Amino acid sequence: MTLLNTTYLFGLLGVILPIIIHLWSRKESKIIKIGSIRFMPKSDTSQSSSICLNEVLLLLIRSMLIGLLCFLLAGVLLEDDKEDRSRITLIDPDYATDGRVIRALDTLKGEVRFLSSGFQVFNQNDEPEEADKSLWTLVTAANELPADTLLIFSDLSSNEFKGRRAATNKVIQWINLEPLEPSKYKHRLLGEQYEIIGHSDALFTSYAVTESANETNGEPWDTLAIQLVYDPEFEQDMLLMKSALLAIEKQAYRTMRIHPIRIDDFEMESSDWLIWLSESEIPSFGNKTIYYAAKEFNGLLTETSEGFVLSRRLTSSLILEEDMLGRLFEILIPEKPDNKDIRQMPLELVKPIQYAEKTTDVTNKAEAHWLWILFGLLLILERYFSLKRSL
């Protein structure tokens, strides 16, 4: 049972009013001295008992009316025990057989679904539909589910949160399934002689360069030199692009030498990549070029025979929506990002953007209309016994 306005419960103190009034209105018996009761008629004792019972019933009914009215004004909502649809539990398919999840499901009530596209009903024997593993994408899609609260069982690896932060009208409760053991793995080869070994757990990820088992010639990565040429009107685009490159440098553990230069001061120099943020004609540099051209492409960065086309001016929101960091990582550093990095995001960093609108169609609470019916019946009884007493 839930009360919407608990302030009205102070009215329950009024239950004692009928008792006070009853005690106050009782009259003391008047003593009349008489010589003899020989000729006095006998009184009907059953009628006296009936009057006493009538008074007690009136006292109880009036007290119940006041108490019931307080609960009605407080707004009583009763829970539906048949099915708890105010909360839906979502299980990451990768953890469907995890012992922690199985034990938790034994105590949870309500609907359980897979955290995947389509959000199919959870069954350990079923294979969920394929889905984009970006948790932000799935949280956004979950806005259509008929519940106000989503209980999500998943790991909070930084690799799972890609793109724009989700906006939701739900209450999101994350149950973080942290890795049980740290991970050691070969992250990347550096030529044929060196390799990077990764060590990762829920809190930290570190890398160490070691000699490869193959004792052949090879050199570790050198610094990635990038010329970032821009028009003055593209200065904001340049700053956003430079921030993206610095983020990739930190994530990839590869040093970059980024040289921002205005187009008027540009001179061709030796570099690995040329990024051209201008509508002016781009000089010949080969296919390791990223240049701006207002063209209609499906993606923000599209490969052509002349290099990679940046089809739109950059904004912070566009970079997040198009996952430009991931695409730029794939272009500049052909090796894949470290998908074995199992560091967990803090809960305060994975809160979606909240807005107030609720879309729940089915809820597990309903107003107690039958209390009004009970109140009406008690009111009729109170009037009946009051009239009976006055007769």
Looking up residue 254, the CATH number of its domain turns out to be: 3.40.50
CA atoms within 13 A on the CB side of 221: 20
Point out the domain boundary residue: 196, 220, 244. Answer: 220
CA 2 to mean position of chain CA atoms? 23
Residue 356 has a CB neighbour count (10 Å cut-off) of 5
Whether 265 and 323 map to the same domain: the answer is yes
Kindly give the confidence (pLDDT) of every residue in the chain, 391 residues in length, as a single tens digit, with 9 standing for 90 and above.
667 677 888 888 888 888 888 777 765 666 777 766 666 666 655 555 566 777 788 888 888 888 888 888 887 766 554 444 578 999 988 888 888 888 888 887 788 999 888 888 888 777 766 555 678 888 888 888 888 889 999 988 877 787 778 888 888 889 888 888 888 888 776 656 677 788 888 888 888 878 776 644 434 566 889 999 999 999 999 999 999 999 988 877 678 899 999 999 988 888 889 999 999 988 888 778 999 988 777 788 888 888 899 989 999 998 988 888 888 988 888 765 677 888 888 888 888 887 765 444 444 444 567 788 888 898 898 888 888 777 6
Q: Is the pTM of this model over 0.85?
A: no
Per the listing, tokens 């983020």 go with 247
**Based on the domain organization, do 241 and 316 belong to the same domain?**
yes
281 and 227 assigned to the same domain: yes
First to last CA, the chain: 42
Polymer length in residues for the chain? 391
pLDDT at residue 373, as a whole number: 87
Number of domains in the chain: 3
What pLDDT was estimated at residue 243?
Answer: 94
165 and 213 in a single domain? The answer is no
203 and 240 both lie in a single domain: no
304 in a structural domain = yes
Instruction: Please list, in sequence order, all residues whose beta carbon lies within 8 angstroms of the beta carbon of residue 316, skipping any fewer than 6 positions away.
Output: 240
| Residue that terminates a domain, selected from 197, 220, 243 | 220
Name the token pair of 253. 């553990």
- Using an 8 Å Cβ cutoff, are 289 and 274 in contact? yes
Q: Which domain holds residue 187?
A: 180-220
CA distance linking residue 111 with residue 98, whole number of Å: 19
Check whether residue 140 and residue 202 sit in a common domain. Answer: no
Cα distances (Å, whole numbers) of residue 176 to 87, 156, 308: 18, 6, 39
Residues 236 and 300 in one domain: yes
The CA distance from 262 to 260, in Å, is: 7
Residues 193 and 268 in one domain: no
Q: Please give the pLDDT value at position 1.
A: 63
Q: Are 227 and 311 in a shared domain?
A: yes
- For residues 246 and 150, state if they share a domain: no
Same domain for 204 and 172?
A: no
Q: Rounded CA gap, 270 and 274, in Å?
A: 10
Tell me whether residue 266 is in a domain. yes
Residues 279 and 237 placed together within one structural domain of the fold? yes
